[in-house]
Amino acid sequence: MAAAITVFTARAENIMARRAPAFTCQNCGATANRWQGKCESCGEWNTLVEEGTDPPAPGGLGRAPRKGRLFVLEPLAGEAHEAPRLPSGVAELDRVTGGGFVRGSVLLMAGDPGIGKSTLLIQAAATLASSGHRAVYISGEEAVAQVRLRAERLGLGKAPVELAAETAVEDIIATLSEGKTPRLVVIDSIQTMWTGAVESAPGTVTQVRGSAQALIRFAKKSGAAVILVGHVTKDGQIAGPRVVEHMVDAVLSFEGEGSHQFRILRAVKNRFGPTDEIGVFEMTGLGLREVANPSELFLSERDLGSPGTAVFAGIEGTRPVLVEMQALVAPTSLGTPRRAVVGWDTSRLAMVLAVLEAHCGVKLSGHDVYLNVAGGLRINEPAADLAAAAALVSSLANAPLPADAVYFGEVSLSGAVRPVAQSPARLKEAAKLGFKRAFLPEAAKGETSSEGLALTSIGSLSSLVADIAARGSGPRRGGAKSGGQYG
């Protein structure tokens, strides 16, 4: 009798342990055995939600342990084959993915609501379907009629794309497994999908992870390329567990400002291609239009002759891009001057301001500083330091910079201007767009081809500041002379 009670108690405790509530953070995916206001992993408040625990893994308590099987270990040396690709027909999308979709790959595309993710993917699916490949578009947010209306507005109503409005992952996989294997499957969006293997509401961390795992297994077994559309949080991060970003083969970020018609597609992660390429699109009434020459588009509305503007010759992947950097330096009425940046790193701006103050004698402690990258482009490379510094000093001294000049170079903490990579490509793009002069690091002048440009080498930031200050002709904002702002 005592033995039976002991066995019953052990089984009851085992069942209770399996059904114990689990609280999962909806921001980072961390789990806790009790609810608490703040997640200990990511520090976010009110993100823990009670979810059902996953079923026990094979080989757990109460099951016989799984016996391992032998597998073959391959040598590192051997012939490597490039993954077969399927071009999407959208050149800018193929540039970012590395040449097209790889068979059996899974891509995660994220972006703000209304940025154009569904528009871009329906255009890619229609192009593939018109080429004779099977393309399937599964929408969990819109009805089939709504997707058809969008396709008709884009002029793609006759494309043989297969549509469905479904959210059950098991039903989707069973349907896709019938007949010819699709070459492209679009799931819009992964946050609306749910699987019966997980006991939680759709959109939770557990459901997103379980649904993504099932779709990835289908892609690897069938060879179909699957694109998962993901939502983003208010700070621009991809919603859901971070583990999904590690599970997929590529993560694409679709960026853009609501006030601009330009859209930037950027590869954050790519197992089959580069991660520094960008694709540029323009939102029009007929959908997204590819921009073959983004430099010309970004500079199409330049305000020539105004102080505080400098053209930066940058590199995005293998593509040179010229963009205008705008700066405004104005006397502050606050105890702490304001620093506002759009399209550039705030920490990088703080460093350039400190170098100007410490090594160039530029007094900016009593001024508000605003810096903007025109066109909605986000610049990440340090080569923009020289252009940003030139725009800041130009605004402070009320001295317009030459309209036919470009700037690039990295500024060190000592005030020296360091060389950057791919200088010939930057100069070639500037010459193609009609620029006549280039301000570049002194160490890079001997390594570059002038391409018909007049090159001005800059060894230290103080020399550039002195040159701009000498051109300052009129009084600055607030009535002070330009020379009075320099030590």
Q: Judge whether 107 and 272 are in contact, CB under 8 Å.
A: no
H/E element, 50: strand 48-51
Residue 76's pLDDT is 85
Residue 484's pLDDT is 43
Question: Has residue 4 got a pLDDT over 80?
Answer: no
Nearest to 187 by CA among 238, 117, 85: 117
136-179 pLDDT per residue, tens: 999 999 999 999 999 999 999 899 999 999 999 999 999 999 98
Cα–Cα distance measured from residue 443 to residue 192, given in angstroms and rounded to the nearest whole number: 54
Domain boundary among 249, 267, 292: 292
244-255 pLDDT per residue, tens: 888 999 999 988
- Three-state DSSP at 363 gives coil
Residue spans of beta strands (DSSP E) within 215-293: 225-230, 250-255, 262-270, 278-284, 287-290
The residue with tokens 């002038």 is: 450
Residue 95 shares a structural domain with residue 215? yes
Residue 256 shares a structural domain with residue 329? no
Q: What is the largest distance, in Å, between two alpha-carbon atoms of the chain? A: 103
Cα–Cα distance measured from residue 441 to residue 457, given in angstroms and rounded to the nearest whole number: 5
Q: Judge whether 111 and 268 are in contact, CB under 8 Å.
A: no
Q: Residue 324 domain-assigned?
A: yes
Q: Judge whether 91 and 275 are in contact, CB under 8 Å.
A: no
Share of the chain above pLDDT 70, in %: 85
Residue 442's pLDDT is 87
Listing DSSP states for 120-167 in one string gives HHHHHHHHHHHTT--EEEEESSS-HHHHHHHHHHTT-TTS--EEEE--
Q: Judge whether 344 and 313 are in contact, CB under 8 Å.
A: no
Question: Has residue 341 got a pLDDT over 80?
Answer: yes
* Torsion angle, alpha carbons of 23, 27, 29, 32, to 10: -30
Q: Judge whether 409 and 386 are in contact, CB under 8 Å.
A: yes
Question: Has residue 297 got a pLDDT over 90?
Answer: no
Residue 284's pLDDT is 87
Residue 112's pLDDT is 85
pLDDT bin (cut points 50, 70, 90) of residue 135 is very high
Residue 334 shares a structural domain with residue 266? no
Cα–Cα distance measured from residue 80 to residue 73, given in angstroms and rounded to the nearest whole number: 16
Q: Judge whether 48 and 34 are in contact, CB under 8 Å.
A: no
Residue 288 shares a structural domain with residue 309? no
Q: Judge whether 280 and 297 are in contact, CB under 8 Å.
A: yes
Question: Has residue 309 got a pLDDT over 60?
Answer: yes
Residue 479's pLDDT is 37
Which of 45-49, 225-229, 482-486 is predicted most confidently? 225-229
Question: Has residue 378 got a pLDDT over 70?
Answer: yes
Residue 274 shares a structural domain with residue 307? no
Take residue 3 and report the two structure tokens written for it. 């033995």
Residue 267 shares a structural domain with residue 343? no
Amino acid at the residue 25? C
Q: Residue 24 domain-assigned?
A: no
Number of residues written out for the chain: 487
Q: Judge whether 137 and 127 are in contact, CB under 8 Å.
A: no
Residue 277 shares a structural domain with residue 405? no
Specify burial of residue 431 (Cβ count, 10 A radius: 0-12, 13-18, 19+): middle
> What average pLDDT does the chain have?
84
Q: Residue 75 domain-assigned?
A: no
Residue 476's pLDDT is 47
Q: Judge whether 378 and 415 are in contact, CB under 8 Å.
A: no
Higher pLDDT, 81 or 366: 366
Residue 266 shares a structural domain with residue 311? no
Number of domains in the chain: 2
Residue 110 shares a structural domain with residue 134? yes
Residue 7's pLDDT is 46
Question: Has residue 478 got a pLDDT over 60?
Answer: no
Dihedrals phi, psi of 265, to nearest 5 degrees: -105, 120
What's the sign of the alpha-carbon dihedral 315, 317, 318, 324?
A: negative
Q: Residue 74 domain-assigned?
A: no
Q: Judge whether 437 and 402 are in contact, CB under 8 Å.
A: yes
48-51: strand order across its sheet = 31-32, 22-25, 48-51
Instruction: Please list, residue by residue across 51-67, b when 16 or more beta carbons sit within 10 angstroms of its beta carbon and e when fewer do.
Output: bebeeeeeeeeeeeeee
Q: Which of 16-20, 430-434, 457-461 has the lowest mean pLDDT?
A: 16-20
Residue 431 shares a structural domain with residue 353? yes
Cα–Cα distance measured from residue 13 to residue 53, given in angstroms and rounded to the nearest whole number: 16
Mean pLDDT of the 88-114 span: 91
Q: Residue 9 domain-assigned?
A: no
Residues 6+ apart with CB under 8 A from 350: 339
Residue 287 shares a structural domain with residue 309? no
Q: Judge whether 473 and 430 are in contact, CB under 8 Å.
A: no
How wide is the angle at C-alpha 294 spanned by C-alphas 292 and 299, nearest 5°?
A: 140
Residue 30's pLDDT is 79
Domain boundary among 258, 292, 326: 292
- CATH number of the domain residue 441 falls in: 3.30.230.10
Domain boundary among 239, 268, 292: 292
- CATH number of the domain residue 270 falls in: 3.40.50.300
Residues 6+ apart with CB under 8 A from 164: 136, 137, 138, 139, 144, 172, 175
Domain assignment of residue 243, given as a range: 85-292
Q: Residue 43 domain-assigned?
A: no
434-469 pLDDT per residue, tens: 899 999 998 876 666 666 888 999 999 999 999 898
398-421 pLDDT per residue, tens: 999 999 999 999 999 999 999 998
Q: Residue 27 domain-assigned?
A: no
Residue 139 shares a structural domain with residue 284? yes
Question: Has residue 481 got a pLDDT over 70?
Answer: no
Q: Residue 41 domain-assigned?
A: no
